[in-house]
Amino acid sequence: MTVSVFSGVVFLISALAGFLGALTGLGGGVVVTPVLTLMLGVNIHYAMGASLVSVIATSSGAAAAYVKEGFSNVRAGMLLEIATTAGAVVGAHLVSVVPVPALAIVFAAVLLYSAWHSLTEHAANGDHPADPLAERLHLNGSYPDPTGARSYTVTHVKAGFGLMTIAGLLSGLLGIGSGAMKVVAMDQVMKIPFKVSTTTSNFMIGVTAAASAGIYLRHGYITPGLAMPVMLGVLGGSLVGARQLSGANVRVLRRLFAVVIAVMAIEMAYSGLTGGMR
């Protein structure tokens, strides 16, 4: 396979990953790495480095729009970024130490978790007593709704902060945005409405990825020849997917997405256990 053909294949795969990621809310990075490693035989470290670059690009593009529309909770996002950034730096330092088979197995576990999260129905959170810490930090907010601005209160800030550290660790270790875990932490633990949780997660993942990208670059795991088509493909696919979101049958897409990444998880775990991953 020539370089131009390889770049074209990587671009198309990344575009499809970005498209599906935008429609399901999980992002394209979680798909890119297993596809590159299992289908194209790319070294897992270089695949994760390219995935990190795509996460930064897609987050930077969408985050500004969500902030402008008033969905993202910027104050909560900036607070939680402290935890995710610290975790990402630690995770990125572990990449060169953790054996490749172990990375493959951990990645497979994260893929299975993402598949479960994709199938989970997200009910609207009810009213909850505010956390005194959230009130002191002015984390409570509101978001636009067809009936007008809807207010919400934030709770369990410390627990959410702790989970964000774990999400950041996985982000740095695996080269992904860990959006699913961040959304669960905000939606289920901190009781932030799901729409706000997803948009705030998108606001955060670019910063989390940027914190570990420098360490990946220093280790030589980010190569322009691979990172560029991945970044352009995921970014283009996510923009198209975002435009199609309103008319798409998201439930069917979520189920299809969950099946695909569950199969990838099994393949990656098998490759890690049998020594087929490099």
**Greatest mean pLDDT among 2-6, 7-11, 184-188, 200-204:** 7-11
- 42 close to 230: Cβ distance less than 8 angstroms: no
- 97 close to 173: Cβ distance less than 8 angstroms: no
Question: Tens digits of per-residue pLDDT, 17-59?
Answer: 878 766 665 666 777 888 888 888 888 889 989 988 888 877 7
Question: Tens digits of per-residue pLDDT, 177-227?
Answer: 777 778 888 888 898 887 788 788 878 888 888 888 889 998 899 998 999
Q: How many contiguous H segments (helices) and E segments (strands) does the chain have? A: 11, 2
For all residues of the chain together, what is the average pLDDT? 81
Give CA–CA dist 62/67, Å, rounded.
9
- 273 close to 51: Cβ distance less than 8 angstroms: no
Give residue 123's pLDDT: 54
Give CA–CA dist 151/131, Å, rounded.
15
Confidence of residue 253 (pLDDT cuts 50, 70, 90): low
Q: Which residue has the tokens 């402008």?
A: 68
Question: Tens digits of per-residue pLDDT, 132-170?
Answer: 999 999 999 888 877 888 889 999 999 999 999 998 898
Q: Which residue has the tokens 């074209």?
A: 8
Question: Tens digits of per-residue pLDDT, 97-132?
Answer: 888 788 888 888 887 877 776 676 655 555 667 789
Which residues are registered as beta bridge partners of 151?
Answer: 142
Rg of the chain, C-alpha, whole Å: 18
User: Please, which residues have CB within 8 angstroms of residue 219's CB and are 6 or more apart in sequence?
Assistant: 45, 95, 96
DSSP label at 40?
S
